[in-house]
């Protein structure tokens, strides 16, 4: 996976899930293959080295929904310092119409009508709007976008419920929820790597939200932060017993079902939750070519961290009833004189 040339240059292949190994290496150029399904944090860590070395980066990929790949393309398309090109099969003419139609039918036979059509539109037409094949929450996130539930709004000054998926080398993810009448506002999101519990405690305090309760995943009881105290113990010490809880362990498919139910009642802050939404759009089951079925477990990649953090929150909050709608006020209208006369009785009058 590595070639050293006589000139001293090095050519190396590295997975985007292992970008930390390149930090400090002083790279001069990087090509991201299949960027739309790679970890978007990879470029963030490598870009400073490219800037220092007056280096370059290229991104080669197929559309996979409105995620970081879409924003990379739009950013390059609108920048005078970058080049962007999107080619469909109609532009290249590389495949005949007959072969295309045969491929489309085979995709639909293999993956089902909806998934097959979406995959065909992605692979041959770079259609950003096509949902990812096997996407777990993709169509509900797109529905939220169409319905105006992904937008910039002014969050209330109410306490937030925070749910998380913890990791040290893996990405740790945090969602900030505000329960509302009939649903929830997702007002903020943050993520990062190589931070321990003490770092995250400081980050949460600096974020500026009024914290109602912090829910940690069930494995937070394990001492995973290279410390003699577990994450739960450190959070309890920092925030107190009443504001820290541990999400009960349940089957992952139950958490997924909870996420599917809750996401229909969520509004997302478009700017604050941008990276988290990328993960929710890309969270997918894996297709098994041998058995021709989707996996029962989601793929473990960069998208699983924000999605797990969201599903933990859905698991907890799906059991909480939304405040009931206020009953319509009863308006009592005073009787008219005619109505009083109709009920008038001389006997009552004498009494």
Tens digits of residue pLDDT in 233-287:
999 999 999 999 999 999 999 999 999 999 999 999 999 999 999 999 889 998 7
pLDDT digits (tens, 9 = 90+) for 70-98: 999 999 999 999 999 999 999 999 999 99
Q: What is the dihedral of CA 157, 161, 166, 172, to 10 degrees?
A: -30
In the chain the domains, ranked by start, together with CATH numbers, are 2-86 (no CATH), 141-317 (3.30.420.240)
pLDDT digits (tens, 9 = 90+) for 106-156: 999 988 888 888 899 999 999 987 878 888 998 899 889 889 999 999 999
What secondary structure, in 3-state letters, does 177-195 show?
EEEECCEEEEEEEEEECCC
Structure-model confidence comparison of residues 350 and 144, the more confident one:
144
Distances (CA, A) of 190 to 141, 197, 311: 18, 14, 15
Average confidence (pLDDT) over 59-77? 92
Q: What is the dihedral of CA 245, 247, 249, 255, to 10 degrees?
A: 170
**188: β partners:** 176
pLDDT value for 130:
82
């Amino acid at each position: 996976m590595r070639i050293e040339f006589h000139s001293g240059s090095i050519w190396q292949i590295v997975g985007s899930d292992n970008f930390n190994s390149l930090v400090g290496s002083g790279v001069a150029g990087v090509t991201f293959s299949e960027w739309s399904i790679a970890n978007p944090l990879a470029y963030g860590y490598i870009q400073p080295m490219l800037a220092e070395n007056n280096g370059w980066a290229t991104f080669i990929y197929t559309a996979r929904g409105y995620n970081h790949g879409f924003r990379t393309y739009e950013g390059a398309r609108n920048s005078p310092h970058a080049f962007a090109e999107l080619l469909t099969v109609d532009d290249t003419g590389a495949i005949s119409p007959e072969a295309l139609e045969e491929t489309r039918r085979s995709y639909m036979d293999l993956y089902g009508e909806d998934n097959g059509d979406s995959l065909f539109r992605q692979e041959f037409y770079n259609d950003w709007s096509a949902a990812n094949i096997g996407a777990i929450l993709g169509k509900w996130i797109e529905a939220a976008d169409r319905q105006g539930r992904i937008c910039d709004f002014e969050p209330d000054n109410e306490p937030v419920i925070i749910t998380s998926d913890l990791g040290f080398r893996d990405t740790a993810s945090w969602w900030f929820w505000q329960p509302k009448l009939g649903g929830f506002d997702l007002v903020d999101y943050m993520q990062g790597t190589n931070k321990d519990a003490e770092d995250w405690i400081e980050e949460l305090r600096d974020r500026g939200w009024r914290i109602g309760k912090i829910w940690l995943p069930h494995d937070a009881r394990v001492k995973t932060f290279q410390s003699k105290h577990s994450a739960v113990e450190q959070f309890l010490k920092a925030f107190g017993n009443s504001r820290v809880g541990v999400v009960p362990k349940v089957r992952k498919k139950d958490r997924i079902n909870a996420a599917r139910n809750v996401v229909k009642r969520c509004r997302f802050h478009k700017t604050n939750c941008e990276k988290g939404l990328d993960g929710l759009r890309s969270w997918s089951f894996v297709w098994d070519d041998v058995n021709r079925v989707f996996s029962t477990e989601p793929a473990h990649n960069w998208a699983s961290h924000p999605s797990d953090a969201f599903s933990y929150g859905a698991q907890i909050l799906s059991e909480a009833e939304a405040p009931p709608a206020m009953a319509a006020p009863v308006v009592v209208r005073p009787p008219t004189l005619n109505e009083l006369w109709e009920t008038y009785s001389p006997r009552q009058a004498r009494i």
